[in-house]
With several copies, the nearest count.
Chain A
Amino acid sequence: PLSGDPCSSPARLARTPYVVLSYVNGPPPV
């Protein structure tokens, strides 16, 4: 890691170069 302890805070996936899928407003149709 460039700075800080990687265990101290959660790495929100929002900052990563991946498409992130999050479920809002309930579960998908199954």
Chain B
Amino acid sequence: GITEAQARAIVDNALKLYSQDKTGMVDFALESGGGSILSTRCAETYETKTALLSLFGIPLWYFSQSPRVVIQPDIYPGNCWAFRGSQGYLVVRLSMQIRPTTFTLEHIPKTLSPTGNITSAPKDFAVYGLENEYQEEGELLGRFTYDQDGESLQMFPVPKRPEGAFQIVELRILSNWGHPEYTCLYRFRVHGEPVE
């Protein structure tokens, strides 16, 4: 058994970590902190032409989420970047040069998905460190699999400490969990050690 004070301490520490972006780790990809999306490859934004914005009854344009949402913290259902098919690459410039140690991938939990499943979630993916944004094949930092039966937020440590440091990483989504038309990326984070 534990005392009330011990229980309170457990709860307070859990809430503290939760309030620190749930991980307590710097996200060098976060847009407001200095990260930015440089480009996409092998990926075509899935244009649904479903969200129509209008003013005074005059249709203005169809809205769809841009890849920027992948480095923004709002992960409510729909606030993902959808690309056609199950393969898509995203090149992200980090807020500073780091030696990446861990990546975080988030998707909405199944309980919040209107369809009851998360087939649009990414499955196998790889992350590369690039010297510059035009480099086609960078240094492979790791291959991972997002588990659709796992937690909504999953963290993936880099298997082998990279020798170099990078300010540009490429996230390559290689497969999804079955959605025939598109894959949705909610949030991708990059954690690591800053270098001078």
A and B touch in the complex (CB under 8 A): yes
List the interface of chain A (C-beta within 8 A of B): 1, 6-7, 9-30
User: Known interface pairs A17-B56, A30-B33. Does A25 touch B41 (Cβ–Cβ under 8 Å)?
Assistant: no
> Looking across the interface, which residue of chain B has its beta carbon closest to that of A27?
B34
Dominant SS among interface residues on chain A: loop
Flag if B39 contacts A21 (CB, 8 Å): no
**Interface residue ranges, B against A (CB under 8 Å):** 31-46, 48-57, 60-61, 63-68, 77-78, 80, 82, 87, 89, 91, 93, 95-96, 108, 113-115, 120, 133-134, 182, 184
Contacts of B46 in A (CB 8 A): 29
The answer on a CB contact under 8 Å between A1 and B44 is yes
Indicate which residue in B55, B61, B113, B115 contacts A20 across the interface (CB closer than 8 Å).
B55
**Are A13 and B38 in contact, CB atoms less than 8 angstroms apart?**
yes
Q: Which residues of A contact B68 (CB under 8 A)?
A: 18, 20-21
Tell whether, in the assembled complex, residue A28 and residue B50 are in contact, meaning their CB atoms are under 8 Å apart.
Answer: yes
Asked if B182 contacts A19 (CB within 8 A), the reply is: no
